Structure 1
Amino acid sequence: MSSAVARLRPEDDALVERHLAHLRVERRLAPTTLRSVGASLDRLQGFAAAQSLALAQVQGHHVRRWAATLHGEGAAPRTVAIALSAWRGLYRWMGREKLVAANPADGIRAPKAPKPLPKALAVDQAMALADLRREDAAAEPRLEARDRCIVELLYGCGLRVAELCALDARPAGDRPCWIDAAAGEAHLVGKGSKARSVPVGAAALRALEAWLALREALARPGEPALFVNRRGTRLSASQVRTRLAERAQQAGLPTHVHPHMLRHSYASHLLQSSGDLRAVQELLGHASISTTQVYTRLDFQHLAKTYDAAHPRAKRR
């Protein structure tokens, strides 16, 4: 507790120390969590003391205003939520101790955090990753052909990593997941067991042809999976992530690349070129167009950067 607060309300300071002791001894909270709770309660005492209020006199409108003050001072929504949780916990404990009749922090929520934009590669970065050709001694031809095909399908078709790993080399079952090279289509089963078909571009078809020519030498007899690992069994999502991250490093990309980033890049680059939100929704297999609309924000960011870099009136003073 700060010394200024302690001088103003020593009885509240002692009350908070009792609560923290309860959390430490009975709830066995970790030291880092206790420090976070202590800092939040220190701030609560500061707010209350500034209005000459004892902690037991605090009402809901006070808590709401103080939470808004924290946010107005630049605290992130998560930080405000952590503070409110600590305040709520204190008053819950005070209620059990018969020190307050009601919890003034109940029902008060932190401001919503904006949803982070999906991360997408720039076009030149995606092309550098797709065009990478490893010729070093460590690049086994079969795995190199497989990995090139994986990148082409993730970026060229916008597949989810689970959809990619579920692909079979040839159609099987009632709802086959496979690539019809002759028709240039990938038949998928996505989230919610929703089937869809997406076009496969020329570059991906060439990469698929090169991989299929080598696949039989790696796959175990009878293995249906299109993509197999060194043991000849179906490639897992974690293995795809690892191989993709390594490949991005080899391509000299300055960011961590994961499969979903290539899906984001696919959607963003399609939208930049076509502007057809409904078509992108269908290609991604989104049930709601609101899910797809996030890519319009990425598209706007791209346009804003172009404007800032190119327009003579965009320069900041």
Structure 2
Amino acid sequence: MTADAPRTEIHDYLEVLRTQRQLSPHTVENYRLDLLELKKFAGEFSLASLSYHQIRRFTSQLHAQEVNPRSIARKLSCWRGYYRWLAEQITLPANPVDGIKPPKKNKSLPKALGTDDAVRLVSQHRSDTASQCANRAMFELLYSSGLRVSELVALDISQSIEKAHISLGWVDLEQAEVHVTGKGNKQRIVPVGRHAIDALLAWIAVRPTLLKADPHPLFLSERGSRISQRLVQLRIKAHAQSLGIPADVTPHVMRHSFASHVLQSSGDLRAVQEMLGHSSIAATQIYTSLDFQHLSKVYDQTHPRAKK
């Protein structure tokens, strides 16, 4: 194999991508750059001679350089395809990229509102209509108890329900707690704050004006049916935008805000796990990163030795 053979083979492979597979010019250019990067790593070795261990070492170097795991996964896919094509042109003992997995994608931290924005979002409401009262009660309950939106819309007006109806959840106003059925049919009881109780009482007082066929749903749409998850999402997003809150607020953001704010105040990870309904503490531990970020920010802003 001549010294410039890899360059020729790369060129031929890219032509196959352009003409036979008809990939876009942008995609072909990305393939070209990824293959040239591999060629640079190979140095004096030909691409055809690279081994599994050499490419795995190069992948580890990319990871150590903090290259995005998605980018590494794309490069491996490109190289794997190249060697698959190359094996049709010349004899290769094996595809040296087979079996090499990209590093795990970085887990993005859940978004959470600041305390001021969260309180402003749930406390500033018009209550001129029944739907506005429902909004206030729903948003207060999401932030007060950290419910999933699926759990919120499944709530029924009370526990006193006919035998033919199976309730997935209800609010006990006297005990100030909400009973929900979460993932895996796992039931849990979560406290409900005073402001959420007040908002629920105001909503229940006007709820009959929207009630039509089904008497069970706690939260109703303007048509009188059980409110949908999508409608809750649209309403909370519109409300946040009307208040000028820059974040893309969703019911899931309110759940994250509940968890991170409770953890910041209490430091009790097990309690947060129970209230969120996580089956494993590992799912809740991501909030410790959020809490650490908050503490680091406070430290940077207040500690004399941290100030620039």
TM-score over 0.5 for the pair: yes
Aligned position for 1:154: 142
What is the Cα deviation at residue 46 of structure 1? 2.5
The answer to whether the aligner puts 1:164 opposite 2:165 as a matched pair is no
What is the Cα deviation at residue 284 of structure 1? 0.7
**Partner SS for 1:33:** helix
**Partner SS for 2:8:** helix
CA distance in structure 1 between the aligned counterparts of 2:66 and 2:169, rounded to whole angstroms: 49
Stretch moving more, 31-40 or 266-275:
31-40
Letter in 2 for 1:142: A
What is the Cα deviation at residue 252 of structure 1? 2.0
Kept in 1, the 8 Å contact 2:214–2:225? The answer is no
What is the Cα deviation at residue 306 of structure 1? 0.7
The answer to whether the aligner puts 1:144 opposite 2:138 as a matched pair is no
How high is the TM-score relative to the length of structure 2? Answer: 0.91
Aligned position for 2:192: 200
The answer to whether the aligner puts 1:101 opposite 2:89 as a matched pair is no
Kept in 2, the 8 Å contact 1:56–1:99? The answer is no
Give the fraction of aligned pairs with identical amino acids, expressed as a percent.
46
CA distance in structure 2 between the aligned counterparts of 1:108 and 1:147, rounded to whole angstroms: 50
CA distance in structure 2 between the aligned counterparts of 1:97 and 1:174, rounded to whole angstroms: 65
CA distance in structure 1 between the aligned counterparts of 2:28 and 2:16, rounded to whole angstroms: 11
**Alpha carbons of 1:64 and 1:155: their partners in 2 closer, same or farther (altered >3 Å)?**
same
The answer to whether the aligner puts 1:178 opposite 2:170 as a matched pair is yes
Kept in 1, the 8 Å contact 2:210–2:220? The answer is yes
The answer to whether the aligner puts 1:250 opposite 2:242 as a matched pair is yes
Aligned position for 1:292: 284
CA distance in structure 1 between the aligned counterparts of 2:290 and 2:83, rounded to whole angstroms: 43
Kept in 2, the 8 Å contact 1:60–1:105? The answer is yes
**Partner SS for 1:216:** helix
Alignment of 1:125-136 (within 5 A): 125-134=117-126
What is the Cα deviation at residue 31 of structure 1? 4.3
- CA distances 1:256-288 after superposition (whole Å, capped 9, x unpaired): 111111111111111111111111111111100
Aligned position for 1:227: 219
From 55, 58, 73, the equivalent of 1:66 is: 58
From 10, 13, 36, the equivalent of 1:42 is: 36
Q: What is the number of residues matched between the two proteins?
A: 303
**Alpha carbons of 1:102 and 1:285: their partners in 2 closer, same or farther (altered >3 Å)?**
same
Stretch moving more, 255-264 or 228-237:
228-237
Stretch moving more, 234-243 or 21-30:
21-30
**Alpha carbons of 1:196 and 1:315: their partners in 2 closer, same or farther (altered >3 Å)?**
same
Letter in 1 for 2:138: I
Aligned position for 1:266: 258
**Alpha carbons of 1:216 and 1:32: their partners in 2 closer, same or farther (altered >3 Å)?**
farther
Kept in 2, the 8 Å contact 1:223–1:234? The answer is no
Aligned position for 1:5: none
The answer to whether the aligner puts 1:17 opposite 2:11 as a matched pair is yes
Kept in 2, the 8 Å contact 1:142–1:215? The answer is yes
CA distance in structure 2 between the aligned counterparts of 1:26 and 1:161, rounded to whole angstroms: 47
What is the Cα deviation at residue 109 of structure 1? 2.3
Kept in 2, the 8 Å contact 1:245–1:257? The answer is yes
**Alpha carbons of 1:152 and 1:44: their partners in 2 closer, same or farther (altered >3 Å)?**
same
Letter in 2 for 1:151: F
Letter in 2 for 1:20: L
CA distance in structure 2 between the aligned counterparts of 1:226 and 1:313, rounded to whole angstroms: 53
Stretch moving more, 245-254 or 22-31:
22-31
Letter in 1 for 2:248: H
**Alpha carbons of 1:43 and 1:209: their partners in 2 closer, same or farther (altered >3 Å)?**
same
Superposition RMSD on alpha carbons, in Å? 2.0
Stretch moving more, 159-168 or 233-242:
233-242
Letter in 1 for 2:44: S
Kept in 1, the 8 Å contact 2:154–2:168? The answer is no
